[in-house]
């Protein structure tokens, strides 16, 4: 009796192993890069971790199929390597000789990818399912591109600077003109008296005879 049960168990596990092989049509290869991802905090991959993996995957199948009773025994693993990579297939909960379709497994994994990753403290890049590409999240693009904001600030500052400079120069010119017209009234009288003795007004200021130092110090 015991012998028979033993033989049956061996047969069933052997049967399950036959379902799972590398390059199985309904299986996926999983690759973990624990050392690269976690460095000092890396844990050792052992039977317990493998059990966790199978349990997490069973959870994923349950969530996807809406409550069907997937168990750890439904996730069959084989071809483990020191890399920490292995193949797995998923068998149906009621009929352990029937494999779940590739596409269903893919959808299930995709749906719960985040949960699977966090169970192992890994990311999409360090826990790879070969053949299931990770869903890329597009970066958030705000409505106004950020550079326009900075551009607006700088343009505003420069524009304000120009306006200030132009206005001050116009104001200065007006002030000079007023002052000049005030001075001219006073100058008119002596010029009328001294005829022809005014200085030449269309000469050019000759720099050579300025009173500067002969050699300007740096």
Partner 1 sequence: MGQEARPNWDNPVQFVLACVSYAVGLGNVWRFPYLCQMHGGGGFLIPYLIMLVLEGIPLFYLELAIGQKMSLGSIGAWTAISPYLGGVGLASVVTSLYLCLYYNIINAWSFWYLFHSFQSVLPWAECPLNSNQTGPIEECDKATPTQYFFYRETLNISPSIEENGGIHTGQAMCLLLAWILTYLFIVKGIKSTGKVVYFTAIFPYVVLFIYLIRGFTLHGALNGVVYMFTPKLEQLANPTTWINAATQIFFSLGLGFGTLIAFASYNEYHNNFERQAIIVSIINCGTSIFASIVTFSIYGFKATVNYENCLERTRVLLLNTFDLAEDSINMDNVFEWIEKLNTTYPVQFAEIANKLEGCNLESELDTAVEGTGLAFIVYSEAIKNMPVSQLWSVLYFFMLLLLGMGSMLGNVTAIITPLRDFKFTSNISDELLNGIVCVFCLLLGLGFTTTSGNYWFVMFNDYGANFSLLFVVLIEVIAVSYIYGIKRFEKDIEDMLGHRPNWYWKIMWAGVSPLLLVTLFIVYIVNYIQGGTPTYQAWNKELGKSEVMEYPVYGQVFIGLLMVSSVGCVPLTALYVYCKKRKHGNHHTRQRTVNTVST
Q: Tell me whether residue 94 or residue 157 sits nearer to partner 1 (CB atom).
A: 157
Q: Tell me whether residue 55 or residue 84 sits nearer to partner 1 (CB atom).
A: 84
Whether residue 211 contacts residue 218, with contact meaning beta carbons closer than 8 Å, is answered with no
Task: Report the nearest approach of partner 1 to the CB of residue 170 (Å).
Answer: 9
User: How far is Cα 20 from Cα 45, in angstroms, rounded to an integer?
Assistant: 20
Task: Report the nearest approach of partner 1 to the CB of residue 26 (Å).
Answer: 21
Task: Report the nearest approach of partner 1 to the CB of residue 2 (Å).
Answer: 38
Binding site for partner 1 (CB under 8 A): 31, 33-36, 81-85, 133, 135-136, 138-139, 146-151, 154-155, 158-159, 161-162, 165-166, 169, 173, 201-205, 207-208, 210, 212-218
Q: Tell me whether residue 2 or residue 136 sits nearer to partner 1 (CB atom).
A: 136
Task: Report the nearest approach of partner 1 to the CB of residue 75 (Å).
Answer: 20
User: How far is Cα 91 from Cα 71, in angstroms, rounded to an integer?
Assistant: 10
User: How far is Cα 85 from Cα 157, in angstroms, rounded to an integer?
Assistant: 59
In sequence order, what are the residues at sequence separation of 6 or more whose Cβ sits closer than 8 angstroms to the Cβ of residue 37?
121, 122, 123, 125, 126
Q: Specify the pairing of strand 75-81 against strand 85-90.
A: antiparallel
Provide Rg for the chain, Cα atoms. Answer: 44
Q: Tell me whether residue 4 or residue 181 sits nearer to partner 1 (CB atom).
A: 181
């Amino acid at each position: 009796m015991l012998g028979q049960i033993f033989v049956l168990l061996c047969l069933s596990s052997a049967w399950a192993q036959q379902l799972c092989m590398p390059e199985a049509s309904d299986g996926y290869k999983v690759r973990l890069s624990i050392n690269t991802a976690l460095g000092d905090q890396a844990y050792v991959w052992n039977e317990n971790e493998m059990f966790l993996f199978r349990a997490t995957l069973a959870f994923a199948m349950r969530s996807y199929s809406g409550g069907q009773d997937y168990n750890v025994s439904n996730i069959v693993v084989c071809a483990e390597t020191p890399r920490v990579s292995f193949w797995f297939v998923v068998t149906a909960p009621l009929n352990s000789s029937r494999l779940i379709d590739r596409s269903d497994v893919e959808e299930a994994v995709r749906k719960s990818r985040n949960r699977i990753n966090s169970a192992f403290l890994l990311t999409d890049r360090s826990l790879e399912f070969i053949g299931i590409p990770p869903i890329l999240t597009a970066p958030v693009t705000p409505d106004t591109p950020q550079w326009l904001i900075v551009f607006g600030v700088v343009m505003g500052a420069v524009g304000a600077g120009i306006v200030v400079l132009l206005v001050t120069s116009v104001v200065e010119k007006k002030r000079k003109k007023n002052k000049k017209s005030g001075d001219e009234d006073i100058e008119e009288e002596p010029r009328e008296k001294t005829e022809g003795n005014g200085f030449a007004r269309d000469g050019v200021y000759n720099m050579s005879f300025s009173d500067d130092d002969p050699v300007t110090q740096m």
